[in-house]
Structure 1
Amino acid sequence: MRTGSEPMTARSALRMRLWLSVWGLIWAIVGTVAFILVARPGWAAACGLLWVVAIVDMTVILRHIRQGPHYQPGRDVPPYEPVDDRFSHRPPERRRPSRPSHP
């Protein structure tokens, strides 16, 4: 049963993201050095940009890991009840007037 709170209770594999970011950082460094050695400044700049993106990604991931786990309801916590439409602030739906049929 869906509870409607899945985006709020979703978990991310932070350690896997960290290692993928490290892998990308290694390849960005290797690419930057290789393209500098073969005198391709455009490709070296592109790899340098990827290097910066990988560093920022690693920084965000490490920050999330250091924050520690946040409260996540376990299996023993029942799902939220569906929202009752009577108490929502949406305007009532309007029906289109039916067209008269012409013979």
Structure 2
Amino acid sequence: MNGDGELSAADLNAIHAAIVLDDNEPKFDINSDGHVSAVDGVTYVEQILSLPVGDSNFDSIFSSADFVTIFQSNKYQKDVDATWSDGDWNFDGRFDTSDLVLAFQRGTYRE
């Protein structure tokens, strides 16, 4: 996605930016529905990177360690740009309650 030839967090950041900026470049249309959206971001995370929604530290587990990562970013409920690593798991550009709801709805949290 970012042109380095490897699947990585950098690719997720590129997809995240494309979704937030409403960039409909075909390479970001992961599910091939003709539109780049949050569905593409979640599909990339779950099916390409094989990560659970909520895994902000990229250790393949959604756990309390991810909460440490996201709350250290100090972007929760603030009107500032946020990325996946900051807690924006629904790809709307902000880290708020809706991101936490999405992650817990997926049912992958481990204590």
Write 1 or 2 for the structure with the bigger share of helix: 1
Largest Rg, 1 or 2 = 1
Q: Which has the higher contact order (CA 8 A, sep 6+)?
A: 1
TM-score bracket relative to the smaller structure: under 0.3
Normalising by structure 2, what TM-score? Answer: 0.25
Normalising by structure 1, what TM-score? Answer: 0.27
